[in-house]
Homo-oligomer: A and B are copies of this chain.
Amino acid sequence: MTKWVYAFGDGSADGSAEMKNLLGGKGANLAEMSNLGLPVPPGFTISTEVCTHYYDNGQKYPGDLKEQAIAALAAIEGTLERTFGSNDKPLLVSVRSGARASMPGMMDTVLNLGLNDETVEALAAESNDPRFAYDSYRRFITMYSDVVLGVDHGEFEEILDNYKVDRGYRLDTDLTADDWKTLVPMYMERVVEVLGAPFPQDVHEQLWGATGAVFGSWMNARATIYRRLHDIPASWGTAVNVQAMVFGNMGEDCATGVCFSRNPATGENAFYGEYLINAQGEDVVAGIRTPQSLTKLERETSGSNLPSMEEAMPKTFAELCDIRDRLEAHYKDMQDMEFTIQQDRLWMLQTRGGKRTARAALRIACDMVDEGVISKENAVRRIDPMQLDQLLHPMLDPDAERDIVGRGLPASPGAATGAIVFTAEDAEAWKADGKSVILVRMETSPEDIGGMHAAEGILTTRGGMTSHAAVVARGMGRPCVSGAGEMRVDAANKTLTCMERTYTEGEIITLDGTTGQIMDGEVDMILPELTGDFGKLMAWVDEYRTMGVRANAETPTDAKTARKFGAEGIGLSRTEHMFFEPERIVHMREMILASGEKSRRKALAKLLPYQRDDFENLFRIMEGLPITIRLLDPPLNEFLPHNDEELAEVAKSAGVSLKEIKARKNQLDESNPMLGHRGCRLGITYPEVYEMQARAIFEAVVKVAADNITAIPEVMIPLVGMKSELDAMTAVVNAAAKAVMDESGKTFEYMVGTMIELPRACLMADEIAETAEFFSFGTNDLTQTTFGFSRDDAAPFLDVYQRKGIMESDPFMTIDPEGVGALVKIAVKKGREIRPDIKLGICGEHGGDPASVHFCQQIGLTYVSCSPYRVPIARLAAAQAALVERDES
């Protein structure tokens, strides 16, 4: 017989903290506290398996569930010497959800269950407080009707409001016991009016009604959206916790509160919390009454004159302090606890790992290592890599006021304030004038790079988390909000319209790239700090990490940032980004418009010195570390301007007619540029381009070698699908290397490899590895082709997919392990068959995503490469992945 129901309380439990998947977080921790002998109101947990069963079987319960629940209920009755539904010492229970991951407020709860017209009288008699009993009863009727029966709570509020008006009452507290007693039948009548059926008096009917409602709420809209946002699979299900009620609102010797074993904002090792006397838990959270401090010190710090619990209830406070110490020592982590004091008796209602800021997380972990509570390894395992992101960028002061005027996707973290401009040129011009600007565009393209660099932050109204703007901004560490679809950019008139407001050029806005918020005016910020606890933790991280971490970088600034953040090399240096500066783009366009190889070579010769300087700079910055340099990749069209005015300029400077330029541009236009004439296809049609780039690389190698600087270039051929492509391009690179060696009389080391970013490359990886000395997985493009998703176009339908549960996470954020991952695995296996020591890396956006980093560890990649600002995240994720691997081996 499957066990569906797990009892807890009275110093023991069927479950434990280990059983979170089965019992949910709340149920597992209630069981654990019971096992520790802490005062927990007895109850039982209906497991998450019941939820799964319920949804897999047309919303029916397993046959033997009720029997098990009744037995568990009987146990509670025995412990407390109370009886469910009895009119002598009736047992009241709460029915709450409890999923594996915390989903605060997303699902339904019913309190005071077990009250009916008879038990309410017994409660009144027992508590000697009819007002409390009838207030509880009317609260239960409202809550149950709303949650279980679907009668909107407005129905009851209306009755109450009318009643108060009739009697001249202002506050609920003005109502007496008799008032509530009068109201209850009126509530009952309204239920009959709405439903055509009476409110259930049978307490067992109440119990199963509430249980069904909690399971039902697992699939409600709020919960579904929350799950989507937090990557929680629907298949996990929720548990249901049925627990004896305790009351913090039975008089002045009662109270309720929440507390943290350490400060969740700063991480300081100080007991921290709030409580309210004579109140229910909801009252602390709801903010109707101002909660009081837990400790005297806290009260004094905040300048409050309401007594702290330490002062008001010293005995119970001492008991709570003791429990705090025991729980923290037991869980070896900062705890977030809820408690209720009923008639001077302390009851623990919940404990769980406390949410904390990134700063607090680091401090707590480091302190606990110092205190000998946890090991360095535990500290490393405990920090959420994504949370580090908060520490790596300037961020908005959490206390600052925000006038939010719009929202988009949190495309690149950090905050930025500036005057809005609408073109990349304006951004550069304003920046040159010493102004801070926010670049606002429908979407960005490679020719906007200069402007993006000049801007403090970037806002686009189109494009997703992996749009050009998002990817480039993350690479540069510029905050970016993308796909703010409700805003409208009028580029011609240089206006940005958000909701009702219209901004013109030069007006100030603030972006929060961490949340996607767009705010009016300037908002205060705080700056990141990379030493102290951060530095300490990152040093530990590298002790456990087995996989390398590199950065994707091409500018000196990016490369320096990458080194500062601990990158062990550059995994992707995109050479095309080097062609957009004004004095270069001219020659680039000349090259593109060239009528034949000869004039193309002439233009390339002018670009060569620039490229060589770029590489020289990079080699100096990254001295002794490898740099993977990808040869020209994007379609040539991206280097040509879009409007007639600019085209005319290009025509003029290139000495050809506008008509010719337009014809050439037209010829370069493609239906699906992502699948078009780009990558090594350019190198094959115009080998002289790759030849120039290879020569620039090798000449730079020779140049820095003169200063005793070792350059380690890894030349990467993009978009290879066939060995023959790589062979042809490798021959071009080798010829350039030989030529430079012959000319300079120096020898140097280099590698030639390829980006694996097409399904065919994965399938042919054995053949390709005969030539390639390394593979770097370009999982952005591989995701596009494997799914047939254009990342520039997918946002609208991926959103629908996630809302409808077709797809759980965005495959451009976290690698799809089944499809894209299967291809990567095939490539790794085939590559190693031919070349066992082949260097394997990943340079897609996934390189900075912790889940994807775990995947990379699993399949044994040599390194991951990500944007410079993600390097610490990747290092931490890699360390955690290595620890998981060690656990599993």
Stretch at the interface among A57-65, A624-632, A671-679: A671-679
Q: A677-B797, A760-B820 are in contact. Are A724 and B788 (CB under 8 A)?
A: no
**Chain B residues near A823 (CB-CB < 8 A):** 759, 763
**Chain B residues near A198 (CB-CB < 8 A):** none
Task: Tell me the complex Cα distance, A788–B758, Å.
Answer: 6
Question: Which A residues between 748 and 763 are near B, CB-CB below 8 angstroms?
Answer: 757-760, 763
Q: A759-B823, A793-B675, A822-B763 are in contact. Are A685 and B800 (CB under 8 A)?
A: yes
Contact, CB under 8 Å: A675 / B672: yes
Q: Count the copies.
A: 2
The answer to whether A721 has its CB under 8 Å from any CB of chain B is yes
The answer to whether A801 has its CB under 8 Å from any CB of chain B is yes
Min CB distance A355 to B, Å, is 31
Among candidates B763, B788, B804, residue contacting A819 with C-beta atoms closer than 8 Å: B763
Question: Which A residues between 658 and 706 are near B, CB-CB below 8 angstroms?
Answer: 670-677, 679, 681, 684-685
Query: Interface code A782-809, partner B: CB below 8 Å = 1, 0 otherwise?
Result: 0011111110111011001100111100
Task: Tell me the complex Cα distance, A672–B674, Å.
Answer: 7
**Chain B residues near A806 (CB-CB < 8 A):** 684, 722, 724-725, 728
For A, the interface residue count at a CB cutoff of 8 angstroms equals 49
Contact, CB under 8 Å: A675 / B677: no
Min CB distance A830 to B, Å, is 11
The answer to whether A818 has its CB under 8 Å from any CB of chain B is yes
Query: Interface code A810-821, partner B: CB below 8 Å = 1, 0 otherwise?
Result: 000000101110
The answer to whether A554 has its CB under 8 Å from any CB of chain B is no
The answer to whether A338 has its CB under 8 Å from any CB of chain B is no
Task: Tell me the complex Cα distance, A454–B641, Å.
Answer: 40
Q: A763-B819, A786-B785 are in contact. Are A684 and B725 (CB under 8 A)?
A: no
Residue of B nearest to A757 (CB): B788
**Chain B residues near A805 (CB-CB < 8 A):** 724
**Chain B residues near A784 (CB-CB < 8 A):** 675
The answer to whether A191 has its CB under 8 Å from any CB of chain B is no
The answer to whether A618 has its CB under 8 Å from any CB of chain B is no
Contact, CB under 8 Å: B725 / A788: no
- 25 A-B pairs within 8 Å (CB atoms) are namely A671-B674, A671-B793, A672-B675, A673-B793, A674-B788, A675-B784, A675-B785, A675-B788, A675-B793, A677-B797, A681-B797, A721-B788, A722-B807, A724-B806, A724-B807, A728-B804, A757-B788, A758-B787, A759-B819, A760-B788, A760-B816, A763-B823, A764-B818, A764-B819, A785-B786
Residues of chain A at the chain B interface (Cβ within 8 Å): 670-677, 679, 681, 684-685, 719, 721-722, 724-725, 728, 757-760, 763-764, 781, 784-790, 792-794, 796-797, 800-801, 804-807, 816, 818-820, 822-823
Given A675-B788, A758-B788, A760-B820, 12 more A-B residue pairs with CB atoms under 8 Å apart are: A671-B673, A671-B674, A671-B790, A672-B672, A672-B675, A675-B794, A676-B790, A724-B806, A759-B785, A759-B819, A760-B787, A763-B822
